[in-house]
Every structure is written in C-alpha cells, then in structure tokens.
C-alpha cells in the first residue's frame, strides 16, 4: 500500500485526517514535528505522498518542503500543504519548491480523499 | 510607572487564560476523537470540521499571545528608558505608540491568515488548488 505521511503540530488536525483516511487503501504515518518525519525519511522511509501543515514551531511546512527537496529520495515526492494560510505569496513559495497542491482548512473530507486518490493514482 | 506594572500583570493574566483555553479545547476534542476511534463510529463532515476548528482556535489564540508578548516587551523597554532618563519620555512614548500600531497590524494580519475557510468569505469553500 502507498505510504502517506501527515505532518501537523495539531493533534486534533491529525485525528481528523486519520478518521477521514482510515477507509482508504493507504498506509498512514503521522508526525507532530516535521524534523521527526525528516529524520525517518533520512533513515530510509520512502513516503509516496507527504501532506504537511504550514505553521508549525521549529520547522515550518515550507522549510520542511525545502529539506525534502534537498534529499534524493524525496526530491520529487508529491507534497500537499494542508493549512489555514491563504496568503498568495506563501503559495507561490510552495509552488517554487515543487509543491503539488494547497488545501485550506477546514478541509472537506471527500475532497481530501479525492486529492489523495488523484495524486497517488488510486482506483476511484 | 505603577500603572504599567498593572497593565503588564493584566496582560500576563490574559495570556494565561488564552493558554488554558487552547489546552482545554485541545483536550476536549481529543477526548471526543479518541471516543470516536475507539468505538469505530462513523463520522460526517461536521465532525471533521469541528476537529479542525480547534486547530484554527488554537492558532488564533497563539497569534494574540504573540502580540501580547510584543506589547509586554515594548512596555518593558519604555519603562526602562523612563526610569533611566525622564527627558526621553516623550520620544519613548512615540516609539511605544508606533510599536503598538505595528503589533496591532501584524495581529490583524494573522487573524485573517490563520482563519482558513472558517471566517474568510473570499476563500473558495470547496477548492483544492493543484499547481
């Protein structure tokens, strides 16, 4: 099964994504700190899709994305930003770093599932 | 500058209340989500939205705590310069006023930025933007 990792410092946000994706044919791993996810990726984890929050302490979503793009194993891994942020400049920064898409919270469960299905090319 | 000490204490109290509100709202929704997952209950869009609102509440309150921290830091600097040289008080008052303006402007910007689709009517309600 494809591995999808979620990174969000909000445990309630992670709970909501967990509940929405638990019926999907994917393996899900969740992290409340981007640097922990990054450490596991550096240790050999190879996610098929990364969905990250933007505003997080220590390492924010864009810094995380930048670090991912610098690693050979995740330089082209699809990444979605799942955030409350709506600022165009930040979207542009994400786009320049090869971000796949931008989802504004609160997300619609059906749309999140559709986005994952589309990016991973899962059977609809 | 006794009045400034009182303002500082009041701001510290407001921060404490806000931090408690963040913790309590998180705990309460985690209890609910644990119950849902433990009992394998089916959820609908409203439940998922409610869980995400906690995140938005938390970010909004955190942004105001950051604003209060900036105000307290400015008050502290003002209080220090006032005690050092009373002649500087007018200049310091002007700096303080300017700083408050900046803090308010940043706080309002964060209120709008961190609201997601919850209060921003100009954000399309059903849209995922692919690049």
Q: What is the CATH number of the domain that holds A93?
A: 3.40.50.2300
CB of A22 closer than 8 Å to CB of A50: no
Collapse the DSSP code of B129 into the 3-class scheme (helix H, G, I; strand E, B; otherwise coil) and give the result: strand
CB–CB of B129 and A91 under 8 A? yes
Q: Provide the pLDDT for residue B64.
A: 95
CA distance B10 to chain A (A): 26
Q: Provide the pLDDT for residue A74.
A: 97
End-to-end CA distance of chain B: 55
Alpha-carbon dihedral sign for residues A111, A56, A47, B129: positive
Q: Provide the pLDDT for residue B121.
A: 54
Which backbone phi and psi does A100 adopt, to 5 degrees? -80, -40
Given CB atoms, is A24 within the 8 Å cutoff of chain B?
Answer: no
Given CB atoms, is A15 within the 8 Å cutoff of chain B?
Answer: yes
CB neighbours of residue B36 within 10 Å: 16
Q: How many residues does chain B have?
A: 131
Q: How much is the mean pLDDT over chain A?
A: 95
- In whole angstroms, give the CA distance from residue B81 to residue A45: 54
Question: Domain residue spans in chain B?
Answer: 2-113
Query: What digits encode the pLDDT tens for the residues A63-117?
Result: 999 999 999 999 999 999 999 888 899 999 999 999 999 999 989 999 999 999 9
Kindly give the pairing relationship between strand B128-130 and strand A79-83.
unpaired
Collapse the DSSP code of A71 into the 3-class scheme (helix H, G, I; strand E, B; otherwise coil) and give the result: coil
Structure tokens at B69: 């921290």
pLDDT at B120 over 70: no
Q: Tell me the residue range of the domain where A9 lies.
A: 3-120
- In whole angstroms, give the CA distance from residue A52 to residue A54: 6
CB of A69 closer than 8 Å to CB of A26: no
Mutate to test the interface with B, among A15, A80, A102, A117 (most CBs of B within 10 A): A15
Q: Return the percent helix, strand and coil in chain A, to nearest 5.
A: 45, 20, 40
How many domains in chain A?
A: 1
Q: Provide the pLDDT for residue A15.
A: 94
CB of A87 closer than 8 Å to CB of A60: no
Q: What pTM was estimated for this model as a whole?
A: 0.85
CB–CB of B43 and A19 under 8 A? yes
Q: Which residues of B touch A12 (CB under 8 A)?
A: 26, 29-30, 33, 51-52, 54-55
User: pLDDT band at B124, cuts 50/70/90?
Assistant: low
Kindly give the pairing relationship between strand B128-130 and strand A101-104.
antiparallel
Place of tokens 């209340």: B17
Q: Provide the pLDDT for residue B91.
A: 79
Q: What average pLDDT does this structure show over A26-48?
A: 98
């Amino acid at each position: 099964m494809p591995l999808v990792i979620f990174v969000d410092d909000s445990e309630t946000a992670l709970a909501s994504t967990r509940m929405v994706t638990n019926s999907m044919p994917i393996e899900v791993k969740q992290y409340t700190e981007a640097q922990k996810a990054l450490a596991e990726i550096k240790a050999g984890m190879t996610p098929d899709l990364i969905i990250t929050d933007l505003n997080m302490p220590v390492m924010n979503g864009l810094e995380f994305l930048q670090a991912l793009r610098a690693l050979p194993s995740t330089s082209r891994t699809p990444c979605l930003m799942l955030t409350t942020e709506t600022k165009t400049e930040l979207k542009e920064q994400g786009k320049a770093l090869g971000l796949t898409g931008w989802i504004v919270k609160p997300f619609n469960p059906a749309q999140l599932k559709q986005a994952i299905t589309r990016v991973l090319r899962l059977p609809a | 500058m006794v009045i400034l000490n009182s303002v500082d204490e009041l701001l510290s109290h407001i921060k404490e209340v806000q931090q408690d509100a963040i913790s309590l709202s998180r705990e309460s929704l985690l209890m609910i989500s644990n119950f849902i997952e433990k009992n394998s209950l089916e959820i609908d869009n409203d439940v998922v939205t409610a869980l995400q609102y906690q995140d938005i509440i938390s970010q909004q309150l955190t942004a105001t705590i950051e604003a209060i921290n900036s105000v307290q830091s400015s008050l502290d600097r003002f209080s220090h310069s006032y005690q050092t040289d009373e002649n500087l008080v007018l200049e310091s008052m002007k700096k303080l006023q300017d700083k408050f303006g900046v803090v308010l402007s940043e706080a309002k910007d964060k209120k709008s930025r961190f609201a997601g689709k919850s209060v921003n009517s100009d954000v399309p309600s059903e849209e995922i933007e692919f690049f």
